[in-house]
């Protein structure tokens, strides 16, 4: 079983299960496609840059991709440059484009994003999660892939995040 992190603050809860990128689960084929594409853009073991990624090559994921400027040393200051429409549906229609993670209204979710996105930016290693959250009494459930991008191949300055709506009967909030 993969590690599970459970964060509860007030009535909001966030559960994230870290999954191995070597074995994408059924239902996450689009994330596997995105991961394989990212891997194909890595040259000589270096991270791909944003300029190496053509979003049109990821057509099945269009609407499910966020791009974040991760050049700040503090992950709470990472800025959503593109916020996919699937994310809008997961957040009552709110579009977080040009806002920072630190501005996210739910403290529990904000802290989970800071931890997960910050870890990928710091390590330069992709992360694949199953996420279930209860935010303002609304349940959200999805798979997420966080991919680091680096202009110089080493120092992460962007994150590309893929979201696929899913349900996980074994991860319960409430």
Find the CATH number of the domain harbouring 62.
Answer: 3.30.450.20
In a domain, 172, yes or no: no
Domain for residue 68, yes or no? yes
- Whether residue 173 lies inside any domain: the answer is no
pLDDT at 109: 93
Q: Which domain holds residue 148?
A: 4-165
For residues 40 and 52, the answer to whether their CB atoms sit within 8 Å is no
Give the SS3 label for residue 130: strand
SS3 content of the chain, % helix, strand, coil (to 5): 30, 30, 40
CA separation for the pair 147, 100 (Å, rounded)? 18
What sign results for the dihedral spanned by CA atoms 124, 117, 163, 24? positive
Name, in order, each residue with C-beta under 8 angstroms of 85's C-beta and a sequence gap of 6 or more. Answer: 63
Confirm whether 49 is domain-assigned.
yes
Residue 156 domain-assigned (yes or no)? yes
Digit-coded pLDDT (tens) for 114-172: 999 999 999 999 999 999 999 988 889 999 999 999 999 999 999 999 999 999 988 88
User: Is 171 inside a domain boundary?
Assistant: no
Count of domains observed in the chain: 1
pLDDT tens for 57-103 read: 998 888 899 999 999 999 999 999 998 876 545 556 677 889 999 99
Give the predicted TM-score (pTM) of the model.
Answer: 0.93
42 is a domain residue: yes
146 falls within a domain: yes
- Comparing C-alpha atoms, which of 1, 5, 2 is closest to residue 113? 5
């Amino acid at each position: 079983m993969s590690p599970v992190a459970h964060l509860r603050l007030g009535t909001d809860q966030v559960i994230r299960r870290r999954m191995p990128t070597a074995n994408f689960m059924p239902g996450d084929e689009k994330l596997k496609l995105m991961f394989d594409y990212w891997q194909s853009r890595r040259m000589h073991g270096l991270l791909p840059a944003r300029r190496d990624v053509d979003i049109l090559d990821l057509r099945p994921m269009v609407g499910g991709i966020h791009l974040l400027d991760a050049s700040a040393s503090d992950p709470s200051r990472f800025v959503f440059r593109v916020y996919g429409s699937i994310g809008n549906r997961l957040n009552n229609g709110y579009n977080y484009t040009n806002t920072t993670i630190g501005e996210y209204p739910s403290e529990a979710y904000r802290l989970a994003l800071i931890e997960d996105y910050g870890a990928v930016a710091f390590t330069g290693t992709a992360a694949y999660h199953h996420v279930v959250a209860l935010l303002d009494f609304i349940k959200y459930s999805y798979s997420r892939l966080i991919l680091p991008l680096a202009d110089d191949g080493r120092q992460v300055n962007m994150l590309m995040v893929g979201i696929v709506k899913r349900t996980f009967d074994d991860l319960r909030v409430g």
